[in-house]
């Protein structure tokens, strides 16, 4: 019984990628999004997280904020490998998708960023 309990505690405390107890900064994060879009359209993007060895981590939760041209967006929640869709706001220029995960202490940390030219 002690060995089982010790293994469970070790699994929860060890950092890695892909579980609710694991630190986001141990993953490789990317954002699959277009480089250019037109004002008035929709932005569709997917956030991806992978183990350092390359395996996909599907359904890992994250938060994101889009800094539109002249307007800071609100915080939204998403999950990896699930497409997000949001109406483009603001004017022409460069918008930025900022993605945040949780570190080993439960703090929100930036994990990925993607810029988009809005025309």
DSSP string for 3-41: HHHHHHHHHHHS--SSSTTS-GGGSEEEEE--SEE-TTS
The range of the structural domain enclosing residue 76 comes to 2-118
Which residues on adjacent β-strands are paired with residue 69? 90
pLDDT in tens, 18-54: 454 457 878 999 999 999 999 999 999 999 999 988 8
pLDDT in tens, 59-115: 999 999 999 999 988 999 999 999 999 999 999 999 999 999 998 888 999 999 999
CATH of the domain at 34: 2.60.40.1930
Q: pLDDT at position 26, please?
A: 83
Which residues on adjacent β-strands are paired with residue 63? 77, 100
Name the phi and psi angles at 11, rounded to 5: -65, -35
- Mean pLDDT, the chain, rounded, equals 85
Which of 4-8, 54-58, 69-73 is the least confident region?
4-8
Q: pLDDT at position 23, please?
A: 72
Angle, vertex CA 23, rays to CA 9 and CA 62, nearest 5: 125
Q: pLDDT at position 5, please?
A: 37
Q: pLDDT at position 52, please?
A: 83
Q: pLDDT at position 17, please?
A: 61
Of residues 1 and 8, which shows the higher confidence score? Answer: 1
State how far the Cα of 51 lies from the Cα of 28, in Å rounded to an integer. Answer: 6
Please tell me the total count of domains within the chain.
Answer: 1
């Amino acid at each position: 019984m002690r060995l089982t309990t010790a293994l469970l505690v070790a699994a929860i405390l060890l950092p890695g990628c892909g579980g609710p107890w694991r630190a986001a900064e141990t993953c490789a994060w990317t954002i699959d999004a277009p480089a250019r879009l037109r004002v008035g359209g929709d932005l569709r993007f997917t956030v991806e997280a992978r183990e350092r060895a390359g395996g996909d981590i599907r359904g890992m939760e994250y938060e994101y904020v889009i800094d539109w041209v002249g307007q800071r967006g609100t915080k939204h929640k998403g999950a990896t490998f699930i497409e997000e869709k949001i109406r483009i706001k603001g004017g022409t220029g460069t918008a930025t998708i900022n993605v945040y995960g949780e570190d080993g202490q439960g703090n929100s940390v930036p994990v990925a960023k993607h810029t988009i030219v809005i025309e």
